[in-house]
Amino acid sequence: MTNSNQKTDMSVFENLESEVRSYSRSFPTTFEKAKGYHMWDGNGNSYIDFFAGAGALNYGHNDDAMQQKLIEYIQSDGLLHSLDMATNARAEFLKKFNEVILEPRNMSYKIMFPGPTGTNTVESALKIARKVTGREKVVTFTNAFHGMTIGALSVTGNAFKRHGAGIPLTYSMAMPYDDYMDGYDSLDYLERMIQDGGSGIDLPAAIILETVQGEGGINAASFEWLKKVEELCRRLDIMLIVDDVQAGCGRTGTFFSFEKAGISPDVVCLSKSISGSGLPMAITLIKPEYDQWGPGEHNGTFRGNNLAFVTATEALDYWKTNEFSESIEEKSGLFQKRLYQFVKDYPELEGEVRGRGLMLGIASKKEGLAGQIAAESFKKGLIIETSGPDDEVLKMLPPLIIDEEGISKGLDIIEESIKAVLGKEEAKV
């Protein structure tokens, strides 16, 4: 499968859009339509999507049922915008989320609509933790990514993004994630630093973490480590915030990424795929005893994106039984088998398979290699990105609804691209 060489004219973006644009540089074509795990550009080229809107399209593009609901809602003159007023669409989402997600898992949380983006749910989580505890500092981990607004950026690790703030980022303390200090227990260190009255490390309001770090390089924390973090939080009276924006909504196999770890975060951040359709939406789950907001203490114009509520409600159907969850595990198995094979077959990759569920990657020690493979894959019809501090990880986030054929074809393209890139590399030598 090779796409036509006809190049899309990107001048409208180059001339009118800010230099900050990024993905239109990695994938230099103009997309026209998309369905399931396929995308098509204006030149008739088709692409398999292994990126899924950076995890915002777990249910694929343009799910039929969601499309139908959207059209019905629009045709009925349903409110598109309603701030945080009560609407039918909002009520239905609240009820169904409680019934399908929270109750069966014995989870008791108040649901907050903090504004429709990931950075917004993180900002609201940090605020409530600081309000509840009366403390300022928040522990974050190496390679964490939590968002671009100043509050969320302060707990984000990436130096390039941090530098963009233009002001010193404060009230956060970066600590080593899971096995960052090979052979040394990073939580022993964290606990000792917090407990030690002479360490210069103040008792934090909260610890915020991703169970699998997406932007940070597909680093999956062990369940044991997560359990230990929770214990530490309980012991020292620190709030635990899980940022499940990218790893949640089924991406790692269960609805919440932390279910198998058996932990109970005080605050959970969800966004990206929560709307089901890729429309902007976010929620913050807060244990009832910590829901100490005053009315409107955190607000925002787009807390009532009703089209998002409509598809979000529809998407919850996927979670009525265990079937969807099991299918993700199965597909993850298929993926991993091939990835391990790649690492074995192409030792020049100096590769390492990482991840959990359908949040997977191959880290390569060869500088720039992951990026070359991604670029080559795009030419061959696959949308795939890299992550990690040095873009050293080829990251795979296919829509969870992908089928075996899609997985095969996508992985075939990756393999061909690996060969092509390694061939070039050899040719250089």
Q: Does 25 bind its own copies (CB under 8 A)?
A: yes
Long-range contacts of 361-367 (CB under 8 A, 24+ apart): 361/217, 361/218, 361/387, 361/393, 361/394, 361/395, 361/396, 362/393, 362/394, 363/217, 363/218, 363/388, 363/392, 363/393, 363/394, 364/392, 364/393, 364/394, 365/392, 367/392
**143-172: which residues touch its own copies (CB under 8 A)?**
143-144, 147-152, 154-168, 170-172
Q: Does 129 bind its own copies (CB under 8 A)?
A: yes
For CA atoms 344, 349, 352, 353, the dihedral sign is: negative
**243-282: which residues touch its own copies (CB under 8 A)?**
245, 271-272, 277-280
Q: How far is the CB of 395 from its own copies (least distance, A)?
A: 13
Q: How far is the CB of 291 from its own copies (least distance, A)?
A: 5
**169-208: which residues touch its own copies (CB under 8 A)?**
170-172, 174, 176, 180-181, 183-184, 189, 192-193, 196-202, 205
Region near its own copies per CB under 8 A, out of 25-33, 329-337, 345-353, 369-377: 25-33
Q: How far is the CB of 306 from its own copies (least distance, A)?
A: 9
Out of 35, 234, 320, 337, the only residue in the binding site for its own copies (CB under 8 A) is: 35
Q: Does 20 bind its own copies (CB under 8 A)?
A: yes
**334-373: which residues touch its own copies (CB under 8 A)?**
none
**282-341: which residues touch its own copies (CB under 8 A)?**
284, 286, 291-302, 305, 307
Q: Which residues of 61-91 are buried (b: 16+ CB within 10 A; e: fewer)?
A: bbbeebeebbeebeeeebeeebebeebebbe
Judged by CB, which is closer to its own copies: 85, or 323? 85
Out of 79, 334, 343, 420, the only residue in the binding site for its own copies (CB under 8 A) is: 79
Judged by CB, which is closer to its own copies: 166, or 333? 166
Residue 296, burial from CB neighbour count under 10 angstroms (0-12, 13-18, 19+): exposed
**92-111: which residues touch its own copies (CB under 8 A)?**
94-95, 97-98, 110-111
Cα distance from N-terminal residue to C-terminal residue, the chain? 29
Alpha-carbon torsion angle 255, 261, 263, 266, nearest 10: -50
Q: How far is the CB of 281 from its own copies (least distance, A)?
A: 9
267 in Cβ contact with 285 (< 8 Å): yes
Query: In sequence order, what are the beta bridge partners of 46?
Result: 40
Judged by CB, which is closer to its own copies: 282, or 418? 282
Phi and psi of 22, rounded to 5°? -130, -55
Q: Does 119 bind its own copies (CB under 8 A)?
A: yes
